Amino acid sequence: MTARLSFVQMFVEFGRKEKNLRRAHRLISKIKEPDLIVLPELFNTGYSFLSRSEVEKLSEDIYGPTIKSLMKLSGELSTCIVAGFAEKFKDKIYNSAVAVYNGDLLGIYRKSHLFFLEKKYFDPGDTGFKVFRTRKFNLGII
């Protein structure tokens, strides 16, 4: 069995979450019959944070508007989407990547090995390294 993998490179405007999400949707809509679409790390916020409070303002919980939108899109396209975002969970902020599949949350990975300035802005992840299963393939996120 084969799978069509698509990796989206896109210009991300720092802090412009809605605009970046619309851009991602537009690019994804051009992909023909994808089985897996991978968006960049922190695709909806950008990466140029100046403070932890800035990250907190831009972060979302797992069922925030960005992930809900990707879940809906994955259902419409019958595909799997992996996307990086700043996740707010309780009193923590994680550099996370979510996998959504056919409209549902498949799983989440919270970046464990933070480097350089990431350590100032994010908490180390606690999810470990899991394998998520789809109809066509198994998926790991690191």
Quick one: pLDDT at residue 1?
A: 73
pTM equals 0.95
Average pLDDT taken over every residue of the chain: 96
- Terminal Cα-to-Cα distance of the chain (whole angstroms): 24
Q: CA nearest 79: which of 22, 20, 18, 136?
A: 136
Q: What is the mean pLDDT of residues 78-89?
A: 98
Question: How are strands ordered across the β-sheet holding 80-89?
Answer: 5-7, 36-38, 80-89, 92-101, 104-110
Taking only the tens place, the pLDDT of each residue in 26-50 is 999 999 999 999 999 999 999 999 9
Residue 2 pLDDT grade (very low, low, confident, very high; cuts 50, 70, 90)? confident
Q: What is the mean pLDDT of residues 77-101?
A: 98
Q: Which two tokens stand for residue 63?
A: 């069922």
Dihedral over Cα of 82, 80, 37, 12: its sign: negative
Quick one: pLDDT at residue 64?
A: 97
The residues spanned by each domain of the chain are 5-140
CATH of 5-140, one of 3.30.70.120, 3.60.110.10, 3.30.70.20, 3.60.130.10: 3.60.110.10
Q: Is the pLDDT of residue 138 over 90?
A: yes
Q: What is the mean pLDDT of residues 132-142?
A: 93
- Give Cα 101 distance to the centre of its chain: 12
Query: How far apart are alpha carbons 109 and 140 in whole angstroms?
Result: 9
Strands 92-101 and 131-133: unpaired
